[in-house]
Structure 1
Amino acid sequence: MGGVAQKMTDTVKNAPVLGSSGVHAVAVLTDPSNGQVYGHVDFVEANDGTVIVSGEIKNIPDKQKRGFHIHEFGDTTNGCTSAGNYHRFLSMEFACLYVGAHYNPDNNEHAGPQDQLRHVGDLGNIVGGSGNVAKFNFKDSLIKLTGSRSIIGRSVVVHEKEDDLGRGNTADSKKTGNAGGRMACGVIGFKKS
């Protein structure tokens, strides 16, 4: 793969190294198909290395859960589908190779945000609230805004269904949490302070 959809290790080799205190990032989420689901996600890397994730996503029905993940690519040229799919390619030497959808540098199975082993991008679910707005504010210890495992330049995706956190009875549960299609997405970038 080349161009926009390169892996982050290729596209941020020369990015400036920032201190671990007070680094801010944001993703503005849009729904490329009909514009109904939209919002923003803010990220702040704290001194202890955790990242505070907060934001609001509009048009998530009250009390309904939607899968919420960091995906491998920040490429939205084909809407939310180019943010990282399970692509297969065939060649003389390889029968089938997956390029994971969720950001997963450790090659773990899909799981919930509280599980010890999971994709780095597995952030669980957001939940619709009053006025059909999902508001959230939580800390995560695996995602980073600096260093070789930074999520800057990757994307945030809100899915059409609840993430089963890898506890479902299908093969897709351990890959995607059976969260279904993509309702909205946005590229994560440094936020002007």
Structure 2
Amino acid sequence: MRSFLTMCILPLVAGCSTMASPPNSAATEIISADLITADGVSVGVASLTKQNDGLYLAVSAQASTSGTFGMHLHSIGKCEGPDFATAGGHWNPGMKQHGRDNPMGAHGGDLPNAIVGADNKVLLVFRIPDIVLKGEGGLLDADGAALIIHEKQDDYKTDPTGNSGKRVICGVFKG
């Protein structure tokens, strides 16, 4: 089973106003994405940080409501509203099905759900050990990639999207 199960989620202190860094300070590359809503309003930032022990994704954003929301890496670095369909499907270099709980899964772009507290802040950092950032089989090809946060919780098994609903926040990673 894909290393999705081995991801290490590190919640950050709620209320932090700056983007946190992954635990290891020996970053070799950092790529950021501005996060926007379907109507183009800026709501935060995400970053991919390449380090010796893997790739880290950090997210610092303001959501419209609290709750648990599906979050995925998508194959095309384009975020055009109103539905962000321009981001394409989940990044899926292994041609798997969706979800860590799907016996045929998981996509390379499957991520843990984002948990948004009562203050509507999304603040998290986690390690994605088996994703290559650039080069053969890498996430960032010629058209980049996108981070999408969905309107509902990912069930970690329903193919192709985890039954996570509409795309409500998007950010483009270009490398």
Smaller-chain TM-score range?
0.7 to 0.9
The one-letter amino acid of 1:44's match is T
Aligned to 2:145: 154
Structure 2 residue 69 is matched with structure 1 residue 66: yes
Aligned to 1:175: 160
Give the TM-score of the pair, scaled to structure 2. Answer: 0.74
Which of 131, 136, 140 is matched with 1:143 structurally?
A: 131
Q: After the TM superposition, list the runs of 4 or more consecutive aligned residues in structure 1 that deviate by more than 4 angstroms.
A: none
Structure 2 residue 45 is matched with structure 1 residue 40: yes
Give the TM-score of the pair, scaled to structure 1. Answer: 0.67
More helix per residue: 1
Which of 47, 55, 77 is matched with 1:51 structurally?
A: 55
Aligned to 1:14: none
Is 2:37–2:170's contact at 8 Å kept on the other side of the alignment? yes
CA deviation map 1:60-103 (0-9, x unaligned):
533x111110001112345512111xxxxxxxxxxxxxxxx100
Residues 89-100 of structure 1 mapped to structure 2, 5 A cutoff: none
The percent of aligned pairs where both chains have the same amino acid is: 28
CA distance in structure 2 between the aligned counterparts of 1:145 and 1:123, rounded to whole angstroms: 15
CA distance in structure 2 between the aligned counterparts of 1:60 and 1:136, rounded to whole angstroms: 17
CA distance in structure 2 between the aligned counterparts of 1:138 and 1:131, rounded to whole angstroms: 21
CA distance in structure 2 between the aligned counterparts of 1:181 and 1:148, rounded to whole angstroms: 31
Query: Once the 2 structures are TM-superposed, how far is the Cα of residue 130 of structure 1 from its aligned partner?
Result: 4.5
Gap regions ≥5 residues in structure 1: 1-20, 85-100, 167-172
CA distance in structure 2 between the aligned counterparts of 1:116 and 1:126, rounded to whole angstroms: 23
Q: Determine helix, strand or coil for the equivalent of 1:82.
A: helix
Aligned to 2:155: 164
Which of 82, 94, 97 is matched with 1:106 structurally?
A: 94
Aligned to 1:25: 31
Is 2:70–2:150's contact at 8 Å kept on the other side of the alignment? yes
Aligned to 1:17: none
The one-letter amino acid of 2:134's match is T
Is 2:74–2:148's contact at 8 Å kept on the other side of the alignment? yes
CA distance in structure 2 between the aligned counterparts of 1:123 and 1:60, rounded to whole angstroms: 20
Which is greater in Rg?
A: 1
CA gap of 1:112–1:40, structure 2 versus 1, over 3 A, is: farther
Residues 1-20 of structure 1 mapped to structure 2, 5 A cutoff: none
